[in-house]
Amino acid sequence: MAMADHTNYVLVERDGWQLYRSTWRSRILDVDLVSGPAAAIRCIRAQETTDVWYDDGICEGAVLVDVTRRVVLFFTCQLNDYAHRAALLTVLARTWRGWHVQWAFDGVADLVAYVGLERAMVRDSGLVDAVLAAEDDDVDQLVTLRREDGGHEAYGFSLDLFDVLRYGPEMVGLLPQEARIETCPFPRSGVHIDLADRHLGLWAFDPLRGMAEWLPPAWPGWRIELWADRYTEHLGRSAVPVGEWDRSAGLDFLAGRVDLHADEPAKVWAAIADLRA
């Protein structure tokens, strides 16, 4: 995953669309959006106009606001955890009432496609080989494995290893024994590999950038499912106990960020109070 904070913005109006960019703003993209349409559009207009899209390798967040169709399409890789994202989406449903708020599961490529361009223009062909075992309380990605004999294994990693899936089923041999876990805190993403049924499934709340395109050729003869953020599809197939995410903690975390950064905090506080009632 990229370590920069590059962000693209798209504002779609009746006479066309305009692309904008920021080199740092993805870190507060959540609070740029939570105050609602007026504040978000002001924020977008204040950014630098550009003709260049950031690619998958460096784009850490992106927002498209279509004022004619009342659509918001966005993602950010800067969210703290699943609870933070759940709180954000729930609050947006109130502060953007009457709008269709969508998460961009394919990252910036979803915005590119929305305005009629080819997803290929933002694909990054870089390959990350890092496979880092996680500390017990810091699992970013849970990988579960069902072997041909029906046995189950679970591995925890401090970074996602989605890029390693490019190696196909042979990547199972790259799973280090030091990453084996017996229990797991709630992760950011997950992969389930069923060697017996030749089934690969994965989910994340960060974007699954381009995976629908390159996974099938890498895993020929396998049934592949992209579960978006539907983590229950994964956990229902695994044998490892996984901790629950905390809705209240997510609202508390978002509220703290609103205090620091939001343009119209009173409006957001009202939405959060309504959710806590």
pLDDT (mean) for 213-230: 96
Confidence (pLDDT) at 2:
41
The residue whose two tokens read 């979803």 is: 110
Q: Both 192 and 231 in a single domain?
A: yes
Confidence (pLDDT) at 219:
97
* Residue 264 or 15, more confident: 15
Band the pLDDT of 174: cuts 50, 70, 90.
Answer: confident
Q: Both 77 and 213 in a single domain?
A: no
Confidence (pLDDT) at 197:
97
Q: Both 98 and 167 in a single domain?
A: no
Band the pLDDT of 136: cuts 50, 70, 90.
Answer: low
Residue 173 lies in a domain: yes
Q: Both 16 and 110 in a single domain?
A: yes
Structure confidence by residue, pLDDT tens digits, 61-79: 999 999 999 999 999 999 9
Q: Both 149 and 67 in a single domain?
A: no
Number of domains composing the chain: 2
pLDDT reading at 154 higher than 90: yes
* Residue 129 or 272, more confident: 272
Provide the mean pLDDT of the chain. 92
Q: Both 46 and 98 in a single domain?
A: yes
Structure confidence by residue, pLDDT tens digits, 8-43: 999 999 999 999 999 999 999 999 999 999 999 999
Whose CA is closest to 9, among 68, 60, 57?
60
pLDDT (mean) for 166-180: 92
Q: Both 156 and 257 in a single domain?
A: no
Q: Both 170 and 227 in a single domain?
A: yes
pLDDT reading at 127 higher than 80: no
Whose CA is closest to 238, among 124, 176, 178, 154?
154
Domain containing 32 equals: 6-124+248-276
Confidence (pLDDT) at 128:
52
Burial of 241 (0-12, 13-18, 19+ CB in 10 A): exposed
Residue 45 lies in a domain: yes
Burial of 170 (0-12, 13-18, 19+ CB in 10 A): exposed
Q: Both 74 and 98 in a single domain?
A: yes
Confidence (pLDDT) at 137:
64
pLDDT reading at 1 higher than 70: no
